[in-house]
Amino acid sequence: MSQAELLAFIVAIFNKLDIPYMLVGSHASSFYGMARSTHDVDLVVDLDSNKILELLSRIDLNRYYLSESALREGRMANLIDLKTGDKVDCFILGLDPNERLAFSRRRIEKILGNDIFVATAEDTILAKMRWDEMIGGSNQQRLDITEIFKLQNDVLDFEYLQTQASIMGLVNILKGYVDDLRKT
């Protein structure tokens, strides 16, 4: 099963169980910027603990690995295809107001041939800036951000970006990208 098929598989289950989700990470930045390969698919999932057993019952646990304890504890849970090694990282939506705002702004797009809820371009930029800062610098994160700015410049909500960057303590980082964009 390919990443696209694995994504379609888990999204179909989430949709059937009415479990809200949002595509983030490299697949989101590839949608808005330059496509690139990645080792996994990242989803943010708003998982009600009452749906965990039903979710697990829809997955063949002889074929796929998914940790019930990670889901119950609100930790990142990997859905791993044991035959191919492909995986979906499911980050459980927490209480952080910035994450909840980004989740509320998700939109449905055609991705890898499927209708998928995806983070907005602005929220993808902000998340990648946050990750870049948290891990102490990442050329890949910076390239993803730069490509989104280049390809989405005409449609980005810069007021939203500025407001959220201010709240998240990312104003100087955002300013650097905007200044670089103006130079090109």
A 10 A CB-CB count for 56 gives: 14
CA–CA gap between residue 139 and residue 180 (Å, rounded) = 15
Is the pLDDT assigned to residue 1 strictly greater than 80?
Answer: no
Q: Tell me the one-letter amino acid at 59.
A: I
- Measured CA to CA in angstroms, residue 166 lies from 93, 160, 182 at distances of 22, 10, 20
Q: Enter the tokens of residue 42.
A: 């990242």
CB 132, CB 144: distance < 8 Å: no
Q: How far is CA 29 from the centre of its chain?
A: 9
Residues in CB range of 38: below 8 A, 6 or more apart = 3, 25, 26, 27, 30
Write down the pLDDT at residue 23.
97
At the topology level of CATH, where does 1-119 sit? Beta Polymerase; domain 2 (3.30.460)
Write down the pLDDT at residue 122.
98
Q: What is the pTM of this model?
A: 0.93
- Measured CA to CA in angstroms, residue 13 lies from 77, 157, 182 at distances of 15, 32, 43
CA–CA gap between residue 176 and residue 67 (Å, rounded) = 40
- 3-class SS of residue 67: coil
Write down the pLDDT at residue 65.
96
Q: How far is CA 141 from the centre of its chain?
A: 13
- Mean pLDDT over 76-93 rounds to 95
Write down the pLDDT at residue 134.
86
Write down the pLDDT at residue 2.
84
Write down the pLDDT at residue 46.
98
Using pLDDT thresholds of 50, 70 and 90, give the confidence band for residue 89: very high
Q: Looking up tokens 């800036």, which residue turns up?
A: 129
CA–CA gap between residue 122 and residue 156 (Å, rounded) = 7
Average pLDDT, the chain: 93
Residue 93 DSSP one-character state: P
Q: What is the pLDDT of residues 100-159, one digit of tens each?
A: 999 999 999 998 788 999 999 999 999 999 998 888 878 899 999 999 999 999 999 999
Write down the pLDDT at residue 180.
82
Write down the pLDDT at residue 125.
97
- Give rounded-to-5 percent helix, strand, coil for the chain: 55, 20, 30
